[in-house]
């Protein structure tokens, strides 16, 4: 079975590696074009491209997925199946091309958390479990018939980064299982409507305004937000007239005795902000224009009046 793999970030690399290790025939890899990044505008290749080149795989990097030259080259590879992991939305002319279809690996237990940021939102919303789902692509995003899914437990301290890594490994295993099932024609397609709950949870793209901490909220809500946005795009607050990113914090469910948004500190070992019903004690932060650091190192370098 000839397979074309489509993906861009590190999350997708584990899946591509797992397919290769399972001896599947990857005839092409489609990933994002190279682009300049950083202060020096050095050309940056996607994680998937780097891995594909290291493993001598054919790489396609179309600017536009409807480009006639790209479509022609894709058809010439004569793939039986296309596999998509953390890539962009495909036009029908692309996803409908292979005879066995196009499957996607999504980092949630569908139909919940459809959208661009399922890992972040699962933790922001205080979920106790998440997972990965494989499904056949169709027109509306993340709505195709489910093939397989697998769960991951979310513990009290897990960040989005931790969950990303857990789902990356679990997803790679599930993808191999799915592709083997398709190869053997041994699978069932389950419409997502079969799983519908009354209020589906969504995972829209996260913007900067979504990352600003509102200290008037419940302690648990703020704590989950910080975990759910760490390490990226990162929750932040204003402190000493500068933006302060918060990567790690601890919640203290006690009566703060001061107004929400006010802070307490000994100037050496702790800095904690009052919420509506407790404290959030900052542990790992990054002040605007500075590097990421532990709170003790940060306090050592500033003056609190």
pLDDT at 141: 84
For position 239, which CATH number holds? 3.10.25.10
For residue 24, what are the CA distances in angstroms to 16, 17, 147? 10, 10, 19
Average pLDDT score over residue span 167-175: 98
For position 117, which CATH number holds? 3.40.50.170
Identify the bridge partners of residue 35 per DSSP, sorted by sequence position.
44
**Confidence band, pLDDT 50/70/90 cuts, at residue 38:** confident
Instruction: Identify whether 202 is part of a domain.
Output: no
160 in the same domain as 15: yes
**Among candidate residues 174, 195, 216, the one where a domain is terminated:** 195
Instruction: Identify whether 130 is part of a domain.
Output: yes
| DSSP assignment letter at 125 | T
Could you write out the DSSP letters of every residue in 261-289?
Answer: T-EEE-SSS-EEEE-SSSEEEEEEEEETT
120 in the same domain as 9: yes
pLDDT at 180: 98
188 in the same domain as 63: yes
Residues 6+ positions from 23 with CB-CB distance below 8 Å: none
pLDDT at 199: 85
120 in the same domain as 7: yes
**Among candidate residues 135, 160, 195, the one where a domain is terminated:** 195
pLDDT at 304: 86
pLDDT at 286: 98
Q: Rounded distance, CA 134 to CA 119, Å?
A: 16
187 in the same domain as 41: yes
Average pLDDT score over residue span 261-278: 97
pLDDT at 194: 85
Instruction: Identify whether 174 is part of a domain.
Output: yes
Q: Rounded distance, CA 277 to CA 275, Å?
A: 5
Chain segment 57-84, per-residue pLDDT in tens: 999 999 999 999 999 999 999 999 999 9
Instruction: Identify whether 91 is part of a domain.
Output: yes
86 in the same domain as 222: no
Average pLDDT score over residue span 218-228: 98
pLDDT greater than 90 at residue 120: yes
Q: Domain limits at 275?
A: 208-300
Please check whether residue 11 is in contact with residue 36, taking contact to mean a CB–CB distance below 8 angstroms. no
Q: Rounded distance, CA 44 to CA 42, Å?
A: 6
Residue 164: φ, ψ to 5° = -55, -50
Query: Which residue positions form the known binding site for (6S)-5,6,7,8-tetrahydrofolate?
Result: 108-111
**Among candidate residues 162, 195, 228, the one where a domain is terminated:** 195
218 in the same domain as 153: no
For 111, other C-beta atoms within 10 Å of its C-beta total 22
pLDDT greater than 90 at residue 196: no
Query: Which residue positions form the known binding site?
Result: 108-111
* Domain total of the chain: 2
Instruction: Identify whether 246 is part of a domain.
Output: yes
218 in the same domain as 123: no
Please check whether residue 133 is in contact with residue 110, taking contact to mean a CB–CB distance below 8 angstroms. yes
Instruction: Identify whether 38 is part of a domain.
Output: yes
Which sign does the torsion angle of CA 56, 61, 66, 70 carry?
Answer: negative
On whether the pTM is more than 0.85, the answer is yes
Instruction: Identify whether 266 is part of a domain.
Output: yes
265 in the same domain as 166: no
264 in the same domain as 126: no
């Amino acid at each position: 079975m000839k397979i074309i793999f489509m993906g861009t970030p590190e999350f997708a690399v584990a899946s591509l590696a797992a397919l290769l290790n399972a001896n599947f025939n990857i005839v092409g890899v489609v990933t994002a074009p190279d682009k300049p990044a950083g202060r020096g505008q050095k050309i940056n290749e996607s994680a998937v491209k780097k891995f594909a080149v290291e493993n001598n795989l054919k790489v396609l990097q179309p600017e536009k997925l409807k480009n006639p030259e790209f479509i022609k080259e894709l058809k010439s590879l004569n793939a039986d199946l296309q596999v998509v992991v953390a890539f962009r939305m495909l036009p029908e002319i692309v996803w409908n091309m292979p005879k066995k279809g196009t499957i996607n690996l999504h980092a949630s237990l569908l139909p919940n958390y459809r959208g661009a940021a399922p890992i972040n939102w699962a933790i922001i919303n205080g979920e106790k479990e998440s997972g990965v789902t494989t499904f056949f692509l169709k027109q509306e995003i993340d709505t195709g018939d489910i093939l397989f899914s697998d769960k991951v437990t979310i513990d009290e301290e897990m960040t989005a980064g931790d969950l990303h890594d857990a789902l990356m490994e679990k997803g790679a295993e599930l993808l191999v299982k799915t592709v083997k099932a398709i190869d053997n024609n041994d699978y069932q397609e389950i419409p997502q409507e079969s799983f519908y709950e009354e209020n589906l949870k969504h995972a829209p793209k996260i913007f900067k305004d979504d990352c600003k901490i509102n200290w008037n909220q419940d302690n648990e809500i703020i704590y989950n937000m910080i975990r759910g946005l760490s390490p990226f795009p990162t929750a932040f607050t204003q402190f000493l007239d500068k933006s302060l990113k918060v990567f790690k914090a601890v919640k203290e469910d006690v009566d703060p005795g001061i107004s929400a948004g006010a802070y307490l500190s000994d100037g050496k070992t702790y800095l904690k902000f009052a919420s509506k019903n407790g404290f959030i004690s900052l542990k790992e932060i990054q002040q605007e224009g500075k590097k990421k650091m532990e709170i003790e190192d940060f306090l050592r370098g500033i003056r609190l009046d």
